């Protein structure tokens, strides 16, 4: 992680972690992460127009400038839709989501990380398990009585 420039002032204390408004971060399903998960990047009163945001989903990153003239702690400065169909390195298990803020190409702040759990397989309910057993039994090959 690059060193924060002291001359520009560290704004890390004013940054909030990214959040997922419609998803439980402790159990992101295989289907959700392949369909797309919306990530909101909250603003900070210390962010300025033109600051560069670098968002990290594990080792994957995406950058964009802040284009809002007025940013405060209630602002959402960026909304991303992350889909495993379109990212380079697919990660399962615990994944860190965080944002770095750059001003004049100097790191001035890093948000706290939101740790999410991305499941490789969708959880199976008892009902789904029973249905699978029934299907296997129903379509299992029965021994041929006409064989020797």
Domains of the chain: 12-121 (2.60.40.10)
Residues listed for the chain: 148
Q: What is the tens place of the pLDDT at every residue in 32-88?
A: 998 999 999 999 999 999 999 999 999 999 999 998 888 888 889 999 999 998 988
Q: Determine how many CB atoms are found less than 10 A away from the CB of residue 106.
A: 15
pTM of the model: 0.75
How far is Cα 18 from Cα 3, in angstroms, rounded to an integer?
21
How far is Cα 17 from Cα 120, in angstroms, rounded to an integer?
24
Whether 1 shows a pLDDT value over 60: the answer reads no
| pLDDT for res 51 | 95
Residues 10-20: what's their mean pLDDT?
95
How far is Cα 43 from Cα 46, in angstroms, rounded to an integer?
8
């Amino acid at each position: 992680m690059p060193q924060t420039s002291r001359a520009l002032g560290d704004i890390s204390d004013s940054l909030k972690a990214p959040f997922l408004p419609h998803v439980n971060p402790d159990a992101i399903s295989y289907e959700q992460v392949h369909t797309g998960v919306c990530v909101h990047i909250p603003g900070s009163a210390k962010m300025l127009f033109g600051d560069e945001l670098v968002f990290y989903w594990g080792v994957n990153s995406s950058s964009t400038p802040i284009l809002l003239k007025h940013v405060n702690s209630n602002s959402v400065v960026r909304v991303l839709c992350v889909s495993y169909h379109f990212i380079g390195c697919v990660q399962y298990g615990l994944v860190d989501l965080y944002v770095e803020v750059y001003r004049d190409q100097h790191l001035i702040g890093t948000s706290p990380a939101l740790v999410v759990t991305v499941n490789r397989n969708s959880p199976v309910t008892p009902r789904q398990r029973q249905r699978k057993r029934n299907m296997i039994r129903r379509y299992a090959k029965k021994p041929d009585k006409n064989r020797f």
